Amino acid sequence: MRVIDASGAIYGRLSAYVAKRLLEGEEITIINASKAVITGNRSFVIGKFKERLDIGSVRKGPYYPKTPENILRRSIGDMLPKKITKGKEALSRCRVYRNVPSDIEKDKIEKIADVLTDKVSGIITLEDLSKELGGY
C-alpha cells in the first residue's frame, strides 16, 4: 500500500497519476487532500465548480461533492472506466483522507515530485474551494 501526501500537489495531475496506478493494481491512500491545489484564476475555478452544483435536480442528480476528500476522489473516479468491473475494483482500492489519520502516521509517506506545484500565484486549495461551496 502506498501513502501519498497531497500537500501542494496539483489536483488534476495527482488524479491522473493515482488513476493510472490504481488500474495497475496498486492500493493507494491519499492524505492531506484539503491541501491539494487547483491552478488558475480563483474566481473562475470557484465559478466552474458552482456551475456543476447547479446541474440536475435534487432527486435525479448528478451529485457533485463539496468536501475536499470527496472532490479529489470523484476526479480520480472520473478518470477510471467505472462502467466495467476493472474500473470499479480500481476505485475501491483508493482511500482519500482530509488530514493524516492516526493509524497512517507511522507509515512511509511519499510525495510525488511530478505532481507538485511550482506556482506561487493563481492557485486555490481544495479546502478553500470547499468552504466556498459550503461543504466544510
| Tens digit of each residue's pLDDT (9 = 90 or more) over 74-123 | 999 999 998 999 999 999 999 999 999 988 878 899 999 999 988 778 89
Under the banding of pLDDT at 50, 70 and 90, the label for residue 124 is: very high
pLDDT at 126: 96
Q: Is the pLDDT confidence value at 72 over 80?
A: yes
Gap between the Cα atoms of 82 and 121, Å rounded = 35
Gap between the Cα atoms of 116 and 64, Å rounded = 25
pLDDT at 28: 97
Domains within the chain, CATH numbers bracketed: 2-101+112-133 (3.90.1180.10)
CB 36, CB 4: distance < 8 Å: no
pLDDT at 45: 96
8-28 pLDDT tens trace: 999 999 999 999 999 999 999
Gap between the Cα atoms of 103 and 22, Å rounded = 22
